[in-house]
Amino acid sequence: MNVEDKTTDEKQFYEWMEQADEVAANVANEFYKQPDKKQSWRLVPAPRIIKIWKDFAKFGFVRDEKGLDQIAQIMIENTQKLHANTIFMEHEEMSAESYAEGLELNHNYDPELYDEKFPQHVEDEHGQWRISDVALAPLVKDSMQLMAESDPTRKLLIIDRMLNRIHARSDIAALFIEGGTQTLNQMFAG
């Protein structure tokens, strides 16, 4: 790796972390404002990604670059939310309290409130927590690459890799795309 590559990697890391801290602050502020409400979570629309992928397979290039950019943004934001949720659920080495101290919150971190209500706040419609112990590090790396990538074909391949990550806890694709693994199966069906 040359010096320029290392500088680019560091720049990517700091840009991603800066955005991730903003997303984490939003996660915490949303929770504090309405702890009994489910966390807001956008998913990639299944019809759009299926169309983009099938067009790519047919034509050999991405025809809907704007749609791909919107999908990439959802993938990055959901990875950043997953990162925040995992820390707030105390499934990372960093404590939730020290993490919260570094964020710009509109409230004081209350460990009892988080212990009591955050698990239900981050549950999806199937009762699974939106966290990851195993897949988080590769997803963060993928989303950093996605954030820095400008080539539509490489973006699509990074998104594909993210959607196909294996996760013992739940259907990892369901954290990003409507229908989860079923949609992936549909994408690759003839």
First vs last C-alpha separation in the chain? 41
Residue 122 carries which side chain, given as an amino acid letter? V
Min mean pLDDT across 7-21, 25-39, 131-145 is at 7-21
pTM: 0.92
Q: Which residues pair with 129 in a beta bridge?
A: 123
DSSP 8-state symbol, 89 = T
CA 144 to chain centre: 11
Q: What confidence score (pLDDT) does residue 12 get?
A: 86
- Whether residue 17 is predicted with pLDDT greater than 60 in this model: the reply is yes
**pLDDT tens per residue across span 33-52:** 999 999 999 999 999 999 99
Please report which residue ranges of 34-124 form alpha helices under DSSP H.
46-59, 65-88, 96-101, 111-121
The range of the structural domain enclosing residue 113 comes to 3-36+43-188
Q: Which residues contact 15 (CB under 8 A, 6 or more apart)?
A: 147, 148
**pLDDT tens per residue across span 79-121:** 999 999 999 999 998 899 999 999 999 999 999 999 999 999 9
Residue 52 carries which side chain, given as an amino acid letter? I
Kindly report the average pLDDT of the chain as a whole number. Answer: 91
Number of domains in the chain: 1
Instruction: Name the token pair of 57.
Output: 């397979």
Q: Tally Cβ neighbours within 10 Å of residue 41.
A: 17
